[in-house]
Amino acid sequence: MKVKITHRSVYHKIAQIEIDVPVPKDAEFDEIQEWIIENEDTWVDKIDYELNEQEFDFGNGMDDDDNHWTDNNENSEWRIDAVRETMLGKMPTGGHL
């Protein structure tokens, strides 16, 4: 009798860069997201380079406390996170790219 033994191990990389987005400090998330999408050519090579420099970590990366990953069924996830100034003070904002 032949028996098939299968092992699945998941590894991931996470890269993070910071860029300057020329929008007002109180800009809404949609304004920030729009600028980033329209100006992808100004930052995409930087994040690709950073990703290549990272080591693989065991697991799917969903337990990374520094990020707000939500798409655990996807192979890749892009997020943007920022702190915007409001009348109530500094407020975090972010979402998917």
* Tens-place pLDDT, residues 28-78: 889 999 999 999 999 999 999 999 999 999 987 777 666 667 767 777 888
**pLDDT for res 96:** 83
Asked if residue 18 has pLDDT above 80, the reply is: yes
Based on DSSP, count helices (H) and strands (E) in the chain, helices before strands.
2, 4
**Percentage helix, strand, coil, to 5, in the chain?**
25, 20, 55
Listed range (1-15, 28-42, 77-91) with the worst mean pLDDT: 77-91
User: How far, in Å, CA of 76 to CA of 93, rounded?
Assistant: 21
Check residue 84 and give left, alpha or beta (phi > 0: left; psi -120 to 50: alpha). beta
**pLDDT for res 13:** 93
**pLDDT for res 83:** 87
Contact 82, 94 (CB under 8 A): yes
Contact 76, 69 (CB under 8 A): no
Amino acid identity at 17: I
What is the reported pTM?
Answer: 0.76
Amino acid identity at 62: M
**pLDDT for res 88:** 87
